[in-house]
Structure 1
């Protein structure tokens, strides 16, 4: 009886490890998509963006993904990411480049 219990416990342990591995891979894919979406958003919506650096990715206090970084080596930003991995909000420093004229009142995709 003890052998059966240990075998069942071992199988459950292996199955749970496999489930976690799948979630880690999915999380990596989501992070990569979120990074790409932030970069695309910045290049399409702001003037004179030459480079985009991503410094930190974390879960915000509201439970969403947030990405901190800099553009052009010095202007800081924080991007709020929706569950569909698109940019929902953007906080920028004073040194940040201006929005493109056509993107001031609507989002340019």
Structure 2
């Protein structure tokens, strides 16, 4: 019985550690620079971007910075940004997100 209790407590502790890591561990200057990078990336690589709005910013499990927001008022995104190089590692797009520009499909068109 004690073995099951130990396993349950260990599991809860591990889950609490994962949940506790969701807050941003980055200073305001780093977050603002990452947001500028993401905004520039979106305008340069996607069609018809009129507005970019940001919401919460979080640490990702690999120590990077996750920038979240919406474009054009309704299409959500989350971008993983390297906090050292300030490059976009990946971009998650929600339904209705604008399409990638034709010239940017094979390679990133810059920031």
User: Which runs of 5 or more structure 2 residues have no equivalent in the other structure?
Assistant: 1-25
User: Which runs of 5 or more structure 1 residues have no equivalent in the other structure?
Assistant: 1-25
Partners in 2 of 1:43 and 1:78 — Cα distance? Answer: 15
Match of 1:73 in 2: 73
Q: 1:55 offset after TM fit, Å?
A: 0.6
> What TM-score does the superposition give when structure 2 sets the normalisation length?
0.72
Match of 1:90 in 2: 91
Q: 1:43 offset after TM fit, Å?
A: 0.3
Match of 2:52 in 1: 52
Decide which structure has greater helix share.
1
Deviates further, 81-90 or 64-73: 81-90
Q: 1:27 offset after TM fit, Å?
A: 2.0
Partners in 1 of 2:33 and 2:64 — Cα distance? Answer: 15
Count of matched residue pairs: 84
Match of 1:107 in 2: 108
Match of 1:62 in 2: 62
Partners in 1 of 2:44 and 2:91 — Cα distance? Answer: 14
The ranges of structure 1 where at least 4 consecutive aligned residues each deviate by more than 2 angstroms after the TM superposition are none
Q: 1:70 offset after TM fit, Å?
A: 0.3
> What TM-score does the superposition give when structure 1 sets the normalisation length?
0.73
Q: 1:60 offset after TM fit, Å?
A: 1.0
Structure number, greater radius of gyration = 1
Q: 1:47 offset after TM fit, Å?
A: 0.1
SS of the equivalent of 1:58 reads: strand
User: How well do the aligned residues superpose, as a CA RMSD in angstroms?
Assistant: 1.2
